[in-house]
Structure 1
């Protein structure tokens, strides 16, 4: 947690359980035999956790690298879809397009596009126009519905009436390419007719390099399946299937008309030390009784203190009661001229569908992950708390020079922590957050006023266009500076 532990003086008001309550009835009868078994269990379990942590850290790093690669790849491909649609609009509006018009539009669209090989028009699904023409003449006259490589993807695009990614395939001009096929319908005499297709061809190797495939392949054995965006059941796109499917790190790439599935495993394998070789195993084993009993008591007391001090057991964040106490302290300090602060109020956009689709257990898991990310996204001294349900509050101390850009950067950092995908039951779940910001003393000097104004700003952010961040009132840098400065 980024902020300090909640004050412990309140614990006394709840300490009604006997001090020995952590010992379950009858447990002492088995102490003689249980000492050795409990000590052995903790020793082996601690060693195994060390092994698993090493593996988990490595898997997390690989997962992050795959996610970054996927994001860059999807961005490039969907940019080409937008380009194809833009060209298609010209065809539909004009019920066709002349060669000169096509070259003018294509030249403008391809400006500074290193990953794109060409744009083409295929009326009747036969390529008649292509830009640039130089080096691509071999593709002219290609019938997409008769070509055995192109046919299936084109038929899917027609059937779905949506863009479909085809490939990678070997081009007749040489080299490998991906192609986005967009079917077009043209109204003629008031009757929609299938005109043909607009295509964007992407240089496969250039696209993969710009997305970062070479960095991945230096240390990882990469396998990509789903040729023609056919998903996990499709043919290999790149590399080989993982040697151990269960242990490989996997992530989907969402593409026009389908997806790819990327699998990765270290080239040198998943190495981890045997449990008995981990540091401290023999020491833990020799001190098994002391470690076992002390751990049980410490964990019990820690949970009790957190609960009594106002901790939320699900997210390990302060709860509403403690957050309001902290807010009151910050207001009191501010009234004495010690410092100002900002209050960020938000709830999770898209959280209810997660509960409805996967159940409350999945929703609890999502909240726990979000709580951990929020703790990691704020500075030491900032306060992040769960106010109830999917509602959160962040209290950020501010310097006199803190302006709107600085506060917005803090809010965007919190949003970024929330927006990262979370694995839930084999699926990647993404939620967002709309954030309302109120400042002390500009927006009020009472807790209820600041909370209300932050909530109002949050609801404006949900329906506004300011990247999901709204202020209760505009930030004026000069308003918080001493007079005469």
Structure 2
């Protein structure tokens, strides 16, 4: 008792000290807030000034660079250009409001045209390849396929200038030949002046750095250099192939403001803290005692004292709340009524102490085998009940119930006795088997007794039709696993034709199943079940292995094709999926670059990091990535930029009524343009007539796939098809 009182006193002292520290911290915060508020206002004003100045700098620079882009467009339309045409174009593009000193054209990297020519005659005939420094900048521009900005550099003629270089290719194709380079020299001082940049504007000093777009690593460009040695505020100014840093700092030399009155507020606040702490100590002490008593009473009323699980009364309250929530949000759940088999014999033979310990272990095993969002309670005796939330169908309930049965089965040792026990589980589904708590519990209880009558250690559904559906899915799952072992599955291939050449460039692997009893089972029937039960991983491994071996056979026959195959989102959930697939490719000696993985848009929009890691591993190894059925989901350009995608496959639905339906044609054109803008290759599925081929070629679709060329066929027929095409071409 004395020790308890001492502990209580120490606890109260700790509480009082904590409150005092908290209040004193609040006093300090109040005292310091005024100063901090003024600093924050000052920085906010500086940030606004920086934002305005950055916008002006970026805007003026972009306005000057538009001339280069316009000139590139003219050259791509007509690559042949003489001095007269160049002079006319340069005059039109170089407005009086721009700061361009001169423009130069270097077809084949040799300067042939300069405007204005006066003062720049020496540049004519300059070969970029003769200057390693300038050639390096040109190569950066060619690799980027966009503008690269250098400088500011000091000019021999006086002053400084930015030098922008833009590569010109003969077409927009990725492998197009380089025509040459456009160079533009921009007067740095004039550019800064037009953007109204000054070392001091109002109450702030400004500085700009980042020569050659190197940001903080670049040298000073303009402004007040000492700013960079202060506690400056800075923003990025985006320029081609890099950025500048624009910083501001008060001209007064300090962000801080007058702190008069700070110590007065601290002294008054500290005195108030002492008085408030004394009052709160008594209130807190009383509240803690009351809260402890109420918490103990509440817990004892709601939880089973042996297993610390919710008791029957509290479980029914939770179940009724769950029913109301399920009705509002329209989702399903399952109730699993669990009864231990032959528990009475354990109690009778080994005593209630051993029985109680056994119940505690079983309760822990059940909790460990369910998801965090599910509920578990002890109904009394050896009966437990579990609620599985947010289920799609009865198959998930069947699988989870079997996991619980399996978790209970392992033997354990209690008081030198080796015990093994099993469980029978009855399942009732909401809302099919009832919409009230008592009704659901009753039906689950009846199903549990049916499970015991069926031989114990099993799971039984109350509703016969649901039980039948679950049994059918489980049967199909086992048939699929058996079918893989018995060679009932076969990989078919559908050719993919290069739109430009008309030759087969790729083929898609498609799984077919010939069941010994039910005949041909379509993928639409067995693939969804495989994804739910996990059999999809076994099927995926089978397809990958077969594709690898068939690719070797194609190589031996003289056909070098890329083979694509679909992979389910569930197959990407394992952290080592990519490593396993790449290992299989290496084992079968298939180059990763000859495999294309097709995924769905829905998988990308889930934005799961593990899936992204697996995709990047595959892409880094050389495996091509394609989005299947593009445009049928909630498409977003964001995921196309974030994920390493090479191809998009336009769904066959977009080719319906093409080219007769003008609206459908426009939609198809929009999808292809999106892909082209993102430098993605396009495969059109469902091509069925020559009119569609003509339109797709006109829209610059890269590849075509459909029954017009071939339906999915076994590997032997694919070889015949390829050989016939070869004979036609050679003949």
TM-score (norm 1): 0.48
Larger Rg: 2
Higher relative contact order (CA 8 A, sep 6+): 1
Where is the helix percentage greater, Structure 1 or Structure 2? 2
